[in-house]
Amino acid sequence: MNRIFSGMQPTRQLHLGNYLGAAKNWVALQNDYECIFCVVDLHALTIDHDPETLRNNTREVAAAYIACGIDPARNVLFNQSAVAGHAELNWIFACHTPLGWLNRMTQFKEKAGKQRDNAVLGLYSYPTLMAADILLYHATHVPVGEDQKQHIELARDIAGAFNRYYGKDYFTLPDPVIQGEATRIMSLRDGTKKMSKSDESDYSRINLADDADTIALKVRKAKTDPEPLPETVEDLEKRPEADNLVTILAALTDRTRADVLRDHAGSQFSAFKAVLVDVAVAKLSPISAEMNRLMADKGEIDRILKHGAERATAIAEKTISQVKDIVGLLRV
């Protein structure tokens, strides 16, 4: 059986990178896989947070999944902290993960920055919790953006180490699914930096909740270079900001960058940006309208998450019982 697990952190608002790099692919994959989509609220505790905002963001991310086209009746949709198995398996993996593996994680280095000694333990051990998320459900495939590849490789390493230690082929080694034109959307202010929730400039990203005027303003202000658009992808790749905007249009319209260049080679950015604004507004406005509609009935979102958590718990409890038996924890 092929099973997908993936998730997003409810830290600040979801942006175009989260949509094009992940959610849009999830919507396509839900037809071919059994899918478990999680709002990873335990991961959100690894950075500064306000409790009430975190609760609200958790519901908002769930609303965004549904607004993007995830069907909560067909897929399991829940928040991580509602299923105890994530934290339990995290501890067991923490006891099987050499520090050297965690020291290699680039995301920790980026997030902790120069304040390494002040970074919390949870930020450092974040990847073992992510491995627990995936392996708890024996997921075979994990659709994510490119930035998560290293974490999924670590999840495979942990699964392999566990299986070898106990001499059992117990955990499935998950495959990352990193597909489409938009595996790494860059900041609108700097084409060499990833579009990110944590960038202090809101002009660096388009949020899923932005209205049409805000989207238009952000696209118009996006950094570009003075040349018209080139004819080939090879030439485009030498120009990070131009490449990013062409990639965004390609991904929003389900085409390749080469297709976009066929239509727009020689265009000035003023004309190209006008097309991009129209497409971005047409594709994203229905999502933000649907998110607002769903957020008006928080009770309904909570019902969906509760039902999802019950379904997830049924799978997770089985794994946890088996893991306890394998590692030698007494179950009385």
Q: Which positions are catalytic?
A: 111, 194, 197
Instruction: Pick the closer one to ligand TYM by CB: 96 or 184.
Output: 184
Q: Is 178 helix (H, G, I), strand (E, B) or coil?
A: coil
Min separation Cβ 176 and ligand TYM, Å:
9
Instruction: Pick the closer one to ligand TYM by CB: 198 or 268.
Output: 198
CA-nearest of 112, 65, 105 to 290 is 65
CA-nearest of 160, 150, 100 to 130 is 150
In whole angstroms, what is the distance from residue 19 CA to residue 283 CA? 11
Q: Which of 4, 134, 188, 287 binds ligand TYM (CB under 6 A)?
A: 134
124 and 100 in contact (C-beta within 8 Å)?
Answer: no
Instruction: Pick the closer one to ligand TYM by CB: 25 or 224.
Output: 25
Question: Which residue of this chain has its Cβ atom nearest to ligand TYM in the complex?
Answer: 21
10 and 54 in contact (C-beta within 8 Å)?
Answer: yes
Min separation Cβ 92 and ligand TYM, Å:
16
List Cα–Cα distances, 65 to 37, 61, 165, 330, in angstroms.
8, 6, 38, 39
Instruction: Pick the closer one to ligand TYM by CB: 157 or 300.
Output: 157
CB neighbourhood size of 74 (10 A)? 11
Min separation Cβ 65 and ligand TYM, Å:
11
Min separation Cβ 85 and ligand TYM, Å:
13
Q: Which two tokens stand for residue 221?
A: 């202000």
Q: Going residue by residue from 166 to 205, which x/- string records binding to ligand TYM, judged by CB under 6 A?
A: ----------------xxxx--------xx----------
In whole angstroms, what is the distance from residue 137 CA to residue 150 CA? 20
Work out whether 312 is an interface residue with ligand TYM (CB under 6 A).
Answer: no
Instruction: Pick the closer one to ligand TYM by CB: 19 or 269.
Output: 19
Q: What are phi and psi of 8, to 5 degrees?
A: -135, 150
Min separation Cβ 124 and ligand TYM, Å:
14
Q: Which of 3, 4, 9, 125 binds ligand TYM (CB under 6 A)?
A: 9
304 and 62 in contact (C-beta within 8 Å)?
Answer: yes
* Opening angle at CA 119, ends 117 and 124, nearest 5: 110
Q: Going residue by residue from 32 to 71, which x/- string records binding to ligand TYM, judged by CB under 6 A?
A: --------x--x----------------------------
Q: Which two tokens stand for residue 182?
A: 């938009």
Instruction: Pick the closer one to ligand TYM by CB: 144 or 295.
Output: 144
Beta pairing class for 34-39 and 3-8 = parallel
Work out whether 242 is an interface residue with ligand TYM (CB under 6 A).
Answer: no
Which segments of the chain are extended strands (E)? 3-8, 34-39, 76-79, 141-143, 175-177
Q: Which two tokens stand for residue 128?
A: 């073992």
Work out whether 249 is an interface residue with ligand TYM (CB under 6 A).
Answer: no
Min separation Cβ 49 and ligand TYM, Å:
14
DSSP 92-153: HHHTT--HHHHHT-HHHHHHHTT-GGGS-HHHHSHHHHHHHHHHTTT-SEEE--GGGHHHHH
Instruction: Pick the closer one to ligand TYM by CB: 205 or 273.
Output: 205
Q: Which of 18, 57, 79, 204 binds ligand TYM (CB under 6 A)?
A: 18
Residues of the shown chain interacting with ligand TYM in the complex, contacts defined by CB under 6 A = 5-9, 17-18, 21-22, 40, 43, 130, 133-134, 142, 144-145, 147-148, 151, 182-185, 194-195
